[in-house]
């Protein structure tokens, strides 16, 4: 038998659990677009095996198809034999980055500027300034930038003045008027979420408080490293002061759960979090599984839900978002192919712009068929990708985080508004 | 032992007493350059003596039988074991299977649910142009091993080869069916009733309560006839307040009754899309002495050769009207190459035309 | 051996540069379909999007004397969609539903439409495409037509053959032909029906007119548990003898149950010797009576438990379990081979005993599922591909099982097709004259022998010649 190039014996055995049945094919967004076996999970597993057996060369094209994988893990949902595709993919990408092709400069730069604290602060300031002068709209309208960047710019939320986390730990006590008191949880703020989606964090904290939870937001948090892992970058070798993947801020909190409201981070942390941390739970999962206080009034707007892959496929959180939205919205309209990737997938929209655009196109076509004013989702990448796509497509719909929608539904009640007006 | 025999007089059929005998006749035909079997061959064949039925285990739900058995005999034989061959014909089931299958007379009031002969023949043995028996398919209810040639042989009137034995898929004989007969003096109310039964219900489901159905017009009298499991109350509900209904008969059945036999041979078959039926039939003025329409399958049997408003309407809406038993006129229908490729198959399987031509040269 | 450059250039002209693959990695992924025992990579993959493109590709292959095969999702289990060298015509991009007529109950679809996607699109009209192979979430209609696919619910509804009304086909010589039409009851010879199940050896289907049937208005799903597999198979015979034709009647044995439960937890009893999954396509008074009869018969034949699915969710779960049996094998064995034999229904108990006995002789584990109502067995023969004779032993075991099926009056294949690995067995099912008759028809319709060579019929030496393109006279122009 040939020696394995990159897989451990147990991983090689996991690869063998693929019985080549092909049930994953129709679930794969890249296969949907190209119809090419090499762009399907089954094809990629064949390629991984072939790489592992030293059968590749610089010109053989194996890694082209590995690069094209979104890592959405829809194939894991479809797979009847439980092939752990995601972990095999990360192993291959890590090998690729080490031995074959380092991550491209553009991707490295973007990773750095979005996840390293100091650089991110500068980027945020620059973008906020652009938004203030409405230069972002101009850039989008005049097509001053390449399309992928324009789309990101168009999909950017209105940037808050400051990030959500502060220099010191913050603690939010329960705020339900009937004095409901439940566990203490810690909120993971993340990188992009912390700087650009502070509103989502604020909404998350409010609904947690209203549901009787104490929320602590520790200071000194760092990027979880999900983007790095998906790109095959070893987080330990990050630049000075980056401390990617350092979760030590949570080890002493004594919280019942580490609440994550970004699907990508949640999936990564559930998979990779070190011992000694509170149990990692998605915010929606936590709220619904522990009994959600239903809003008194429901939002009248027509809402549809696009499932983030790292919630649906990676974390298998399928029922809870729908249950939550049904409690919060009068008109929840099912979105066909809701569980199919939108083409955001971390850096994918920048590294594989053509495929990403085609995959997004399918999503936008589905959205166009659905009569909804608001699209709910639960991941910053998806939110920006879909919002940007909708804007460039001329569809006037808002993309919101599921918890923002719950917060808005609670806010229809006067007591809720009064409690949090203080 | 096959005895050496001489060819019968013109107009008289060859009557083989076994498949081996038939094979010998084919060999003789080849040697003596005489054509046999096909629709235009010098000698036709009377298959009625090929009645050999293989041992039959009802639990297998497959019957293998010689093609000399008539359709009625086969159905009665399996009904005794609680089984059913869901094929029928308005021409009467007294003809041997060889003729029933060879001419494919299987369009019937069962067709909308149970299809036609090609759906129930699992395997076949035929005598090929060299006089050897050849078999395809299997004697089980499900099989995909090898090419299934029966769909080519069924309806090709013994011009590709001479079928001697068939294996038929069976299903349990239905119990508790009712026979329904609704009469009216015009077709419209009956069409409305039929449409009401197959229209999507509030549940969004398109149902179909008919095991068998046909619409028959004769001498200004129209009847919707069929078989259903629906109870009397439900049947009354279909009819409701439909105007123009003259009478309703609902009779519980023992087993499954055959489709009523027509008074004469149909001359033409019309095919059209069921959704076009209303506009087509509205033009029918009763000039056909007899008319049978299978509403769900979009097939109509015409009994007159002259001009018919319905036939004209069918052709005008893109349907086909062909002479009954003369499927090859399909070749005149744009967009169907079956006839062309059947001719090709004929030249492959019977290059020396032992069975005579497939059809008359046009 | 690299494909001749002018042919590749011709393909690029026909379908455009991005729709022709010749790279090592791309070709490697086409080396097998759902049957991994056979590995053979093509030299080129072409992705047409229309009937015209397929016809042009086929004509180009004919001129160059290069063998070719059509492929859909590659879920087939008889190696029918692979080719050793030559060209794969990949139809996954021809995946549009061209026309749907709910009133007339038919649809015209391209061959790359996924089976379950078609039903998903027609269900809002109360209609569905009845054949439901276990791979229906991925397999394509084109493949269903080529293999005459079955599935659990074909017991009552019939197989693909019974649901195809017409086809547009690119014949072996590149001529485009249309057979049949949208009419629900067709009589007379049918070239379309003849092509169903011909394993893509006579033509490439580029449009299919399928019949749609009403979705059952109500469903009764039952789970019968047996300590002894023979009790389950005897019950199958008894149910059919009681004149009840369920819409599905599935047998699942202990090893399958345990593999599924270890992985999915659908609620199969893990201590059972075997279970039957029985379904009626009604839930009215009549079906209540039938369900009671079925229960009584099962108990009479030793059922230790009998339950009715109480909700649609529960029903879906049971079927999920059934459809994932094969997949779950990946969890308990690094490889397996699926046998597809058929026996007369009355011999079901006998053949299952024979299967266990034969597996024992070969010292192999076998997990049994069966479309029991059809007498169509699917022993999953588990083996280790890393031992030198692993695959050979599995194949030998399967051959013995098929020989037993034939001895009982059955068939080599109920729904997977003959393809590559069973073609030499054909001589055990049919006489030389039978095979010569089929061969004659194939040679007549595909005279150059370039279309999906080496499949379905025993080939002997002939196959190797075609592979090298040596049977063609120089400069053949078609």
Domain ranges of chain C: 5-90, 97-214, 217-325, 333-414, 423-467
Tell me the pLDDT of chain A (422 aa) as tens digits: 457 889 999 999 899 889 999 999 999 999 999 999 999 999 999 999 999 999 998 888 999 999 999 999 999 999 989 999 999 999 999 999 999 988 888 888 888 888 888 889 999 999 999 999 998 888 888 888 888 888 889 999 999 988 999 889 999 999 998 999 999 999 999 999 999 999 999 999 999 999 999 999 999 999 999 999 888 887 655 555 678 888 999 988 889 999 999 999 999 999 887 778 999 999 999 999 999 999 999 999 999 999 999 999 999 999 999 999 999 999 999 999 999 999 999 889 889 999 999 999 999 999 999 999 999 999 999 999 999 999 998 999 999 999 999 999 999 999 999 999 87
Q: Could you list the residue range(s) of the whole structural domain that residue B206 is in?
A: 174-257
pLDDT value at residue B200? 63
- Which positions 130-189 of C are in contact with A (Cβ < 8 Å)? 135, 137-139
In a domain, A318, yes or no: yes
C348 contacts C338 by C-beta, under 8 angstroms: no
| CB–CB contact C323 A1 (8 Å) | no
- Beta-ladder partners of B126: B134, B163
Read off the pLDDT of each residue in B78-104 and give the average, rounded to a whole number.
95
Q: Could you list the residue range(s) of the whole structural domain that residue A359 is in?
A: 299-411
In a domain, A163, yes or no: no
| CB–CB contact B151 C190 (8 Å) | yes
Mean pLDDT, all residues of chain B: 90
**Per the structure, how many domains does chain A have?**
4
One-character DSSP codes across C95-161: --EEEEETTTTEEEE-TTSBHHHHHHHHGGGTEE-----TTTTT-BHHHHHHHT---TTHHHH--GG
Mutant choice from C128, C176, C239, C437 vs B, greatest count of B C-beta within 10 A: C437
In a domain, B75, yes or no: yes
Proportion of chain A in helix, strand, coil states, percent, rounded to 5:
50, 10, 40
pLDDT value at residue B263? 86
In a domain, A3, yes or no: no
Query: Which residues lie below 8 Å from residue B40, measured CB to CB, with a gap of 6+?
Result: B356, B357, B359, B360
Query: Which residues lie below 8 Å from residue A375, measured CB to CB, with a gap of 6+?
Result: A303, A304, A305, A306, A335, A367, A386, A390, A397, A398, A399, A400
Q: What region does B291 belong to: left with phi over 0, alpha with psi -120 to 50, or beta?
A: beta
Which chain C residue shows the shortest CA-CA distance from B136? C434
Task: Give the least confident one: A301-305, B283-287, C201-205.
Answer: B283-287
CATH of domain C217-325: 3.30.70.2190
Residue B223 class from Cβ within 10 Å (0-12 exposed, 13-18 middle, 19+ buried)? buried
Residue B159 sits in a domain of what CATH number? 3.30.465.10
* A220 and A307 belong to one structural domain: no
Backbone phi, then psi, for B217, in 5-degree steps?
-120, 135
Fold of C5-90: 3.30.43
pLDDT of C473 higher than 60: no
pLDDT of C475 higher than 80: no
Inspect the structure and tell me whether chains A and C have 3 or more CB pairs less than 8 Å apart: yes
pLDDT value at residue A20? 94
Task: Give the least confident one: B268-277, C12-21, C22-31, C169-178.
Answer: B268-277
Contacting chains of C (3 CB pairs or more, <8 Å) are A, B
Angle between helices C348-361 and C390-407 (to 10 degrees): 150
- Which positions 7-36 of B are in contact with C (Cβ < 8 Å)? none
CATH of domain C333-414: 3.30.70.2740
* A333 and A284 belong to one structural domain: no
Residue B212 sits in a domain of what CATH number? 3.30.70.260
Rounded to an integer, what distance in angstroms lies between the CA atom of residue C91 and that of residue C232?
41
Structure ipTM: 0.95
* A197 and A178 belong to one structural domain: yes
Report the residue from C194, C245, C434 with minimal CB separation from B152.
Answer: C194
A297 contacts A413 by C-beta, under 8 angstroms: yes
* B233 and B146 belong to one structural domain: no
Rounded to an integer, what distance in angstroms lies between the CA atom of residue C197 and that of residue B137?
11
Chain A touched by C47 (CB under 8 Å): yes
In a domain, A58, yes or no: yes
Mean pLDDT, all residues of chain C: 92
Read off the pLDDT of each residue in C168-186 and give the average, rounded to a whole number.
94
pLDDT value at residue A112? 86
pLDDT of B324 higher than 80: no
Chain C touched by B296 (CB under 8 Å): yes
Best CA proximity match to C304, nearest among C381, C225, C244? C225
Rounded to an integer, what distance in angstroms lies between the CA atom of residue B244 and that of residue A182?
72
Read off the pLDDT of each residue in C89-110 and give the average, rounded to a whole number.
95
pLDDT digit string (tens) for C187-199? 889 999 999 999 9
From C68's Cα to the closest Cα of chain A, the distance in A is 17
**C463: pLDDT confidence band, cut at 50, 70 and 90?**
low
In a domain, A138, yes or no: yes
pLDDT digit string (tens) for C265-300? 899 999 999 999 999 998 888 889 999 999 999 999
Query: Which residues lie below 8 Å from residue A265, measured CB to CB, with a gap of 6+?
Result: A188, A190, A193, A224, A226
* A195 and A255 belong to one structural domain: yes
**C460: pLDDT confidence band, cut at 50, 70 and 90?**
low
The number of CA neighbours under 13 Å toward the Cβ of C249 is 26
Query: Which residues lie below 8 Å from residue C170, measured CB to CB, with a gap of 6+?
Result: C51, C54, C55, C58, C176, C203, C204, C206
Backbone phi, then psi, for C221, in 5-degree steps?
-115, 130
Rounded to an integer, what distance in angstroms lies between the CA atom of residue B96 and that of residue B101?
9
* B62 and B166 belong to one structural domain: yes
C71 contacts C86 by C-beta, under 8 angstroms: no
Query: Which residues lie below 8 Å from residue B32, measured CB to CB, with a gap of 6+?
Result: none
Which chain A residue shows the shortest CA-CA distance from C21? A36
Read off the pLDDT of each residue in C311-330 and give the average, rounded to a whole number.
91
Instruction: List CB contacts (< 8 A) between B278 and chain C.
Output: none
3-state secondary structure of B170: coil
Say which residue the tokens 């790489």 belong to: A51
Read off the pLDDT of each residue in C422-439 and give the average, rounded to a whole number.
96
Read off the pLDDT of each residue in C311-325 and give the average, rounded to a whole number.
92
So what CATH class is C97-214?
alpha beta
* A249 and A347 belong to one structural domain: no
**Per the structure, how many domains does chain B have?**
3
Tokens representing residue A201 in the block: 């964090």
* B220 and B250 belong to one structural domain: yes
pTM: 0.94
* A187 and A275 belong to one structural domain: yes
Report the share of chain B in percent with pLDDT over 90: 66
In a domain, B94, yes or no: yes
pLDDT value at residue A234? 73
Say which residue the tokens 């941390």 belong to: A277
């Amino acid at each position: 038998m040939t020696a394995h190039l990159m897989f451990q014996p147990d991983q090689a055995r996991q690869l063998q659990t693929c019985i080549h049945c092909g049930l994953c094919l129709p679930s794969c967004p890249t296969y949907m677009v190209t119809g090419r076996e090499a762009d399907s999970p089954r094809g990629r597993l064949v390629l991984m095996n072939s790489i592992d057996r030293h059968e590749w060369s610089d010109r053989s094209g194996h890694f082209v198809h590995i690069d094209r994988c979104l890592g959405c893990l829809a194939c894991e949902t479809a797979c009847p034999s439980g092939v752990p595709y995601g972990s095999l993919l990360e192993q291959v990408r890590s090998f690729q980055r080490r031995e074959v092709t380092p991550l491209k400069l553009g991707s490295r730069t973007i990773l750095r500027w979005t996840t390293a604290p100091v650089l991110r602060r500068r980027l945020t300031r620059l973008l906020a300034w652009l938004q203030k002068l409405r230069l972002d709209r101009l850039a989008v309208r005049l097509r001053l930038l390449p399309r992928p960047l324009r789309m990101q710019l168009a999909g950017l939320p209105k940037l808050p003045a400051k990030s959500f986390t502060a220099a010191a730990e913050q603690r939010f006590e329960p705020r339900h008027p009937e004095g409901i008191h439940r566990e203490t949880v810690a909120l993971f703020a993340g990188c992009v979420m912390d700087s650009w989606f502070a509103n989502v964090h604020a909404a998350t904290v409010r609904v947690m408080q209203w549901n009787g939870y104490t929320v602590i937001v520790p200071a000194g948090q760092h990027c979880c490293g999900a983007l790095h892992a998906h790109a095959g970058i070893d987080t330990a070798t990050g630049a000075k002061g980056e401390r990617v993947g350092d979760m030590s801020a949570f080890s002493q909190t004594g919280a019942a759960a580490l609440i994550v409201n970004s699907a990508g981070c949640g999936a990564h942390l559930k998979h990779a979090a070190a011992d000694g941390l509170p149990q990692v739970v998605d915010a929606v999962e936590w709220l619904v599984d522990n009994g959600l206080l239903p809003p008194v009034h429901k939002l009248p707007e027509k809402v549809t839900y696009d499932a983030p892959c790292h919630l649906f496929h990676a974390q298998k959180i399928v029922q809870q978002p729908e249950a939550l939205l049904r409690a919060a919205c009068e008109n929840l309209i099912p979105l066909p192919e809701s569980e199919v990737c939108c083409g955001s997938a971390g850096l994918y929209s920048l590294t594989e712009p053509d495929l990403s655009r085609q995959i997004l196109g399918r999503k936008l076509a589905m959205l166009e068929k659905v009569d909804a004013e608001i699209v709910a989702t639960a991941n910053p990448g998806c939110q920006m990708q879909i919002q940007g796509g909708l804007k460039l497509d001329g569809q006037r719909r808002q993309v919101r985080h599921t918890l923002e929608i719950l917060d808005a539904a609670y806010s229809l009640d006067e007591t809720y508004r009064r409690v949090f007006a203080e | 032992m096959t005895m050496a025999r001489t060819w019968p007089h013109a107009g008289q059929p060859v009557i083989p007493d076994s498949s081996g005998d038939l094979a010998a006749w084919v060999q003789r035909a080849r040697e003596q350059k005489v054509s046999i079997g096909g629709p235009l061959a010098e000698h036709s064949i009377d298959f009625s003596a090929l009645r050999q039925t293989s041992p039959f285990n009802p639990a297998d739900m497959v019957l293998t039988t010689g093609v000399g058995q008539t359709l009625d005999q086969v159905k009665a034989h399996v009904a005794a074991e609680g089984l059913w061959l869901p094929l029928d014909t308005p021409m009467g089931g007294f003809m041997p299977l060889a003729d029933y299958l060879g001419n494919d007379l299987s369009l019937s009031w069962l067709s909308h649910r149970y299809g036609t002969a090609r759906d129930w023949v699992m395997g076949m043995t035929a005598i090929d142009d060299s006089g050897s028996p050849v078999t395809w398919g299997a004697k089980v209810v499900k099989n995909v091993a090898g090419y299934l040639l029966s769909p080519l042989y069924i309806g090709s009137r013994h011009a590709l080869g001479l079928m001697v034995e068939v294996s038929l898929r069976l299903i349990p004989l239905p119990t508790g069916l009712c026979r329904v007969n609704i009469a009216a003096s015009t077709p419209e109310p009956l069409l409305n009733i039929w449409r009401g039964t197959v229209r999507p219900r509030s549940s969004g489901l398109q149902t179909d309560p008919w095991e068998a159905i046909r619409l028959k017009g004769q001498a200004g009298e129209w009847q919707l006839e069929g078989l259903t499991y629906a109870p009397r109350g439900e049947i009354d509900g279909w009819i409701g307040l439909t105007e123009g209904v003259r009478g309703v008969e609902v009779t519980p059945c023992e087993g499954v009754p055959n489709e009523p036999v027509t008074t004469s041979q149909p001359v033409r078959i019309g095919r059209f899309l069921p959704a076009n039926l209303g506009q087509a039939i509205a033009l029918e003025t009763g000039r056909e002495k007899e008319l049978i329409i299978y509403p769900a399958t979009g097939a109509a049997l015409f009994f007159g050769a002259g001009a018919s408003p319905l036939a004209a309407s069918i052709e005008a809406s893109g349907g086909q009207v062909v002479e009954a038993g003369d499927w090859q006129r399909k070749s005149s229908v744009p967009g169907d190459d079956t006839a062309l490729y059947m001719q090709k198959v004929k030249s492959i399987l019977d290059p020396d035309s032992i069975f005579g031509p497939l059809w008359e040269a046009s | 051996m690299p494909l001749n450059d002018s042919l590749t250039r011709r393909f690029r002209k026909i379908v455009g540069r991005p729709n022709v693959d010749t790279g090592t990695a791309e070709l490697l992924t086409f080396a097998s379909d759902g049957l991994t025992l056979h590995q053979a990579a093509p030299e080129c993959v072409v992705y047409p999007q229309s009937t015209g493109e397929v016809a042009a590709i086929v004509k180009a292959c004919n001129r160059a004397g290069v063998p070719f095969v059509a492929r859909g999702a590659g879920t087939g289990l008889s190696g029918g969609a692979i080719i050793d060298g030559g060209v794969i015509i990949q139809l996954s991009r021809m995946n549009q539903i061209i026309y749907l007529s709910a009133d007339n109950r038919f649809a015209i679809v391209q061959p790359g439409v996924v089976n379950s996607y078609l039903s998903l699109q027609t269900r809002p009209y109360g209609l569905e495409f009845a054949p439901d192979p276990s791979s229906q979430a991925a397999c394509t209609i084109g493949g269903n037509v080529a293999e005459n696919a079955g599935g659990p619910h074909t017991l009552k509804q019939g197989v693909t053959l019974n649901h195809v009304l017409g086809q547009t086909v690119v014949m072996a010589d590149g001529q485009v032909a249309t057979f049949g039409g949208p009419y629900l009851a067709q009589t007379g010879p049918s070239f379309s029906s003849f092509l169903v199940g011909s394993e893509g050896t006579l033509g490439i289907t580029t449009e299919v007119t399928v019949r749609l049937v009403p979705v059952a208005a109500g469903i009764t799903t039952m789970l019968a548990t047996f300590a002894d597999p023979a009790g389950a198979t005897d019950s199958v015979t008894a149910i059919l003898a009681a004149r009840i034709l369920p819409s599905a009647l599935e047998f699942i044995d202990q090893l399958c149950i345990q593999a599924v439960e270890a992985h999915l937890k659908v609620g199969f009893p893990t201590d059972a010797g075997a279970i039957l999954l029985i379904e009626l396509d009604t839930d009215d008074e009549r079906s209540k009576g039938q369900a009671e009869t079925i229960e009584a018969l099962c108990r009479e034949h030793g059922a230790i438990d009998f339950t009715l699915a109480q909700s649609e969710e529960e029903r879906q779960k049971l079927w999920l379990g059934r459809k994932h049996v094969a997949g779950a094998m990946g969890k308990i064995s690094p490889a397996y081979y699926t046998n597809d034999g058929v026996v007369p229904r009355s011999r079901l108990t006998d053949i299952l005993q024979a299967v266990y006995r034969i597996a024992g002789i070969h010292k192999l584990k076998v997990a049994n599922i069966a479309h029991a109502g059809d007498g169509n067995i699917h022993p999953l023969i588990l083996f280790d591909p890393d031992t030198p004779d692993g695959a050979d032993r599995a194949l030998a075991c399967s051959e013995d099982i098929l020989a037993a099926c034939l001895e009982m009056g059955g068939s080599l294949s109920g729904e997977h097709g003959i393809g590559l690995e069973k073609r030499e067995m054909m001589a055990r099912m049919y006489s030389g004259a039978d095979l010569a008759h089929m061969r004659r028809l194939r040679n007549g319709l595909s005279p150059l022998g370039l279309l999906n060579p080496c499949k379905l019929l025993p080939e002997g030496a002939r196959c190797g010649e075609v592979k090298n393109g040596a049977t063609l006279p120089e400069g053949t122009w078609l």
